[in-house]
Structure 1
Amino acid sequence: MKIYKKKFKEYIFSYNEDEEFYRRLFEAEQRSPQTFSLYVNTLDQEYIKRRQLYVPCLHPIWHPYISENTFFKSSSQNIYIVKHNRYSPEFIHEHEFYECFYVYSGACANTIQGKKRVCKTGDLCIIPPKTRHSIAVFDDSIVINIIIKSNAFHSTFFELFANNNALSLFFAYTLYKRTENNYLLFHTRSDEVICSLVEDIYIEFYGHEKYSDPLLDSYLLTFWAILLRRHEKHLESFLNTTHENLALPDILNYFQTHFMDITLSSAAEHFGFSVPHFSKLVKDHTGQNFTKLIRNIRLEKACRALKTTNLSISSICEIIGYTNPEHFNRIFKETFHMTPGEYRKNN
């Protein structure tokens, strides 16, 4: 199916066959809920089955769990993109893959692990595997779903964090370790660049042209990079929604640039928190306490210096904020099971 960029909005706003069915179903229930079951009995059951349509009173259980192998028919396919059917009944489900939904126009109601919220135009939500959720669109709003295999998400999204910095720890902790209310929500608002990239991925997917699969993988990496570059500070997650005005990326990037002489008390004072409260926030958001987090940042900087410079180990020790070389050597060996000198030789 050929979709042209200039006519994309016309295409995406038009109603497809399934949406027409769901709209009639929705309107029938709204007009006369008392006789709705009689209306359902008049529907063509074979048609519903053939098109795999969801009618709650006919399907009390509807795909509550979807495996990756079941959803992706081709082993080479890493991405699936589709418009969320407007007026389709809301149902709670979970799956083995990552799902992103982008509100192209209007708004949608979504529920994640029992918590409800409304997402508006430009919102892009990343939902990790095994997270119970649902999406509801009962007007002319447009929501685009991007389904991504787990290994493809890992190899694109986390490729941007090769240095294992503080922000990557937050993403990894949110998407891997937490088991409740997982999501990352970027408020891109009316960002035309992000919107255009979503359109390009959609058009490429349905074009089915030569080399489409590797090109889609490349698109995905580009999309994450642009998203983080432009909206790293417009991020919300279940971890920071309860802390008003908590700019988590600012905090973690502050750690990244002040690791040499930072202390828990100085960081807490900088962001206006008490030390106990700030310490708990750091642990809740990254899965690591402040001391371990700063130690890992320093060690990452040391590894980079060992691999890319000829600086002496004592100089590197001083640069990353350790005053005692013996203490640095001991921590390095405990972490990497080799001395800094051995690490440099091996790399």
Structure 2
Amino acid sequence: MKIIKEKFKDFMLSYTEDELFYRRLYEAEQKHPETFAQYVHSLDKNFIERRQLYVPVLHDTWFPYISENDFFQTNTQNIYIAKHNRYSPVYLHEHEFYEFFYVYTGSCINTIKGKEQTCQTGDLCIIPPNTKHSIAVFDDSVIINVMIKSSTFHGTFFELFNNNNVLSHFFSHTLYEKTENNYLLFHTQSDHVIRSLLEDIYIEYYGHKKYSNSLLDSYLLTFWVILLRHHENHLESFLNTTHPHLAVLDILNYFQANFMDITLSSAAEHFGFSVPHFSKLVKDHTGKTFVQLIRDIRLEKACRALKTTNLSISSICEIIGYMNPEHFNRIFKKAYHMTPSEYRRIHKYG
């Protein structure tokens, strides 16, 4: 079904087949608990399995942890967007990727780290990987869920690290520090620009048009910038970190700006530490060694160049700080399980 912008709200308010199933299940349990067991017994089990629907009395557990590889079906898919199924049973879960949800109409109960919050129309919550959470919607409210690969944050949003803002601090902690159970909750209220951008992302995602993946990456970056511009001071947050006084963001910004020719020795000298102490400090606070961090930054830059330019592989190799193309190819293939040429062919026109 083609989604039309002018009728987007009507489309979102209409009930899907899955939602109708969940609503009937919910009403059967709430209104007729004495016959609920018989109702469940009468359900079409093949339909439930085919649609991958969650019925607690039939499933002991339901995807308590979801990996990126299991969730994202292709290498070119960076995001997944969908309406949250209304009346679906609540279940606590966590996953390897980022998620944010937006309350399009109505409200929902958002639970993170055991704390319940009622989110209203216009609220937008960003949930990083490895954060146990759930969403409850038992009325006609519409919630939009967006799932995003962690690698997309690394590769698409690194520009945000150049700014000293709430998102850059949040991303630096959740991307590079060993933290969990963090979130950001923005109160955008009736911001029509934010609302319209999310509608555009939703429509583009399901339109499956040429260059869609590249356009979606651009939409997301625009979305974060507008969100910060309009609502940086309209948020709640919980940032769980055991090292609140460490200027990790300054170190990561320095790495981003000097990745081509930086060395552990030069970085340690810049921040006034001995090499052994700086090396341990970086590893303790990011979970990665200096070499791993610089490698990741270089590969992020390489991926962007492969997707957005026609530069030769050898030129890209030189630009990101690798003098030996064969060495670069080996590192790239180990990280992405494909050569730079294969990556370009898959992603450049995605």
TM-score surpassing 0.5? yes
Alignment of 1:227 onto 2:221 = no
TM-score (structure 2 length as normaliser)? 0.69
Q: After TM superposition, give the deviation of residue 196 of structure 1 in Å.
A: 0.3
Query: Structure 1's 222 and 333: CA in aligned 2 closer, same or farther, altered over 3 A?
Result: closer
**Alpha-carbon distance, 1:219 to partner:** 0.5
Relative to structure 1, the CA distance from residue 75 to residue 39 in structure 2 (aligned partners, 3 Å threshold; closer, same or farther) is same
Is structure 2 residue 284 aligned with structure 1 residue 332?
A: no
Please name the residue that 2:55 is paired with. Answer: 55
CA contact (8 A) 1:173 1:287 kept: no
Residue of structure 2 in register with 1:168 after alignment: 168
What is the aligned partner in structure 2 of residue 143 from structure 1? 143
Cα 1:178/1:108, change in 2 over 3 Å: farther
Whether the 8 Å CA contact 1:166–1:293 is kept in 2: the answer is no
Measure how far apart 1:116 and its partner are: 1.2
Q: 2:243 — aligned with what?
A: 287
Q: 1:2 Cα deviation (Å)?
A: 1.6
* Distance 1:219-1:235 versus aligned 2 partners, 3 A rule: same
Structure 2 Cα separation of the partners of residues 196 and 117 of structure 1: 25
Paired residues in the alignment total 265
- Are the equivalent residues in 2 in contact too, given 1:121–1:189 (CA < 8 A)? yes
How many angstroms does 1:174 deviate by?
5.0
1: CA distance, partners of 2:2 / 2:69? 27
Specify whether residues 333 and 23 from structure 1 end up closer, same or farther in structure 2 by C-alpha distance, changes over 3 A only.
Answer: closer
Structure 2 portions without partners, runs of 5+: 259-267, 276-320, 322-350
- Report Cα offsets for 1:31-72 as digits up to 9, x if no partner: 111221111001111111111111100012111111101111
Contact 1:107/1:141 (<8 A) preserved: yes
C-alpha separation between the residues in 2 aligned to 1:2 and 1:47?
25
SS where residue 124 of structure 1 aligns? strand
Aligned ranges 1:25-36 → 2 under 5 Å? 25-36=25-36
Q: Shift of residue 10 of structure 1?
A: 0.8
Indicate yes or no: 2:186 matched with 1:186.
yes
- Offset from partner CA, 1:101-147 (integer Å, 9 cap, x none): 00001100011121111111111111111111111100000000001
Report the AA paired with residue 243 of structure 2.
G
Q: Paired residue for 1:42?
A: 42
Tell me the residue number matched to 1:159: 159
The 8 Å contact of residues 179 and 241 in structure 2, kept in 1 or not, is answered as no
Q: What's the counterpart of residue 102 of structure 2?
A: 102
Distance 1:40 1:294, change over 3 A: closer
Q: CA deviation at 1:162?
A: 2.1
Matches within 5 A, 1:73-92: 73-92=73-92
Task: Indicate if the aligned counterparts of 2:130 and 2:181 stay in contact, CA closer than 8 A.
Answer: no
- 1:99·1:126 contact (CA, 8 Å) conserved in 2? yes
- Cα 1:36–1:139 shift into 2, 3 Å: same
Note if contact 1:64-1:94 (Cα within 8 Å) is conserved in structure 2. yes
**Distance (Å, rounded) in 1 between the aligned partners of 2:121 and 2:61:** 31
Partner of 1:314: none
- SS of 1:8's equivalent in the other structure is helix
Shift of 1:203: 0.2
1:152-184 CA distance string (max 9 Å, x none): 023333422225678623442256536343111
> Could you tell me whether the CA contact under 8 Å between 1:97 and 1:128 is conserved in 2?
yes
Unaligned stretches of 5+ in structure 1?
240-283, 305-329, 338-346
Equivalent position of 1:266 in the other structure: none
Q: Distance in 1 between matches of 2:177 and 2:191?
A: 31
User: What's the offset of the Cα at 1:221?
Assistant: 0.7
> What is the CA RMSD across the aligned residues, in angstroms?
2.8
Inter-partner Cα distance in structure 2 for 1:63 and 1:107 = 25
For residues 259-303 of structure 1, the C-alpha deviation after alignment (integer angstroms, 9 at most, x for no partner) is xxxxxxxxxxxxxxxxxxxxxxxxx779342xx649959x96xx8
Would the aligned equivalents of 1:175 and 1:183 in 2 still touch at CA under 8 Å?
Answer: no
Q: 1:231 to 1:163 in 2, by over 3 A?
A: closer
Separation of aligned partners in 2, 1:228 and 1:31: 44
Stretch deviating more after TM superposition (27-36 or 5-14)? 27-36
Which residue type is aligned with residue 13 of structure 2?
F
Q: Which has the larger radius of gyration?
A: 1
The letter for the 1-side match of 2:76 is: S
Q: SS where residue 215 of structure 2 aligns?
A: helix
Distance across 1 between alignment mates of 2:97 and 2:127: 9
The residue number in structure 1 matching 2:65 is 65
Distance (whole Å) between structure 2 residues aligned to residue 166 and residue 14 of structure 1: 36
**Compared CA separation, residues 210 and 186, structure 1 to 2 (3 A):** same
- 3-state secondary structure, aligned to 1:135: strand
Scaled by the length of structure 1, the TM-score of the pair is: 0.70
The alignment partner of 1:49 has SS state of helix
